[in-house]
A = this chain, B = another copy of it.
């Protein structure tokens, strides 16, 4: 299993700024630390097998009913459970590699369509190929492209999915980083044949806690419960979920910070002639290297203590692509300087 952000496997000995991992650079909400210390006392009991309080907190955050909430050990476990529940999965590449790997683990068929040359979804593929009982997984925004599906396009896709009685799994793990346009949870409230996944991982800077959640119809949530592994969310993740979603100041501040830093990074990097910077709606940016390959840039940048994400192991991309995260201003400036100095 090769993943891009394996900071533990490189041989560089100095301090590394990890631009390969798309985590909120502001870190988790301050109040979390105290809550985690209290959660220690909960370790000697199994978490509530129904995670009732956790689901209530997520429901309050998303303005939905707690019976519509599904959970997973990271968004990944939800994707994995869905992969199992449908006979065939349809994806557009490049995308998060686990959309392809998890169905394969369960012996399910995976049908892959390429995104357009500007990484847009060609809806014709969906119209022509999607069948009853299929699972369509779309990243919104998509990883590694950073592109969010425009509202009208998304509504159109959902209508096709619904008409064919297939199922749309929208992976919105990066939702809160996006410019505020529309909210899919609101848009598809009360609808069936759809689940919208989000997570504590990226926005709340908690990849280590493993907490993903999704919203779907109550009916489908009951089917999901038949498949999910009991107690897969540990006590700390359970406790974190009772804290982080109430931190509205932190949430607002992060949104503004990331939006402003993304714009800054995109503007500055766009001035560099040997790279092409794709417009992103997320907290990461896909870059095409016009002169070098990913290995050269990785090796050169790591010498300066900066780790970028090689992107060639995303199906549909080659070694001329890299992905970088939006980090704090000082780190972003270091990255911009490196790009400017290198050629």
Q: Which residues of A contact B (CB under 8 A)?
A: 1, 3, 5-9, 18, 21, 23, 27-28, 33, 36-37, 40, 42-50, 52, 73-74, 76-77, 80, 84, 98, 102, 105-106, 205-210, 225-227, 229-232, 234-238
Contact = CB atoms under 8 A, between A and B. Distances in A.
A206 B7 contact: no
Contacts of A40: 33, 36-37
Query: What is the interface of chain A mostly: helix, strand, loop, or mixed?
Result: loop
26 contacts: A1-B49, A1-B226, A1-B230, A3-B49, A8-B48, A9-B50, A23-B44, A23-B45, A43-B205, A43-B207, A43-B209, A44-B205, A44-B206, A45-B208, A73-B229, A74-B231, A76-B230, A76-B231, A77-B232, A84-B106, A105-B226, A105-B227, A208-B238, A209-B234, A210-B234, A236-B236
Contacts of A84: 105-106
Which of A49, A80, A227 is packed against the most chain B CB atoms within 10 Å? A49
Contacts of A225: 1
A74 B77 CA distance: 15
A41 to B, nearest CB: 9
A52 B206 contact: no
Given A8-B52, A80-B229, A226-B105, A21 B45 contact: yes
A162 to B, nearest CB: 27
- When all copies of this chain in the complex are counted, the total is 2
A34 to B, nearest CB: 10
Contacts of A36: 36, 40
A1 B237 CA distance: 21
Q: Which 8 residue pairs spanning A and B have beta carbons closest together?
A: A208-B235, A43-B208, A8-B48, A210-B234, A46-B207, A236-B236, A44-B205, A43-B206
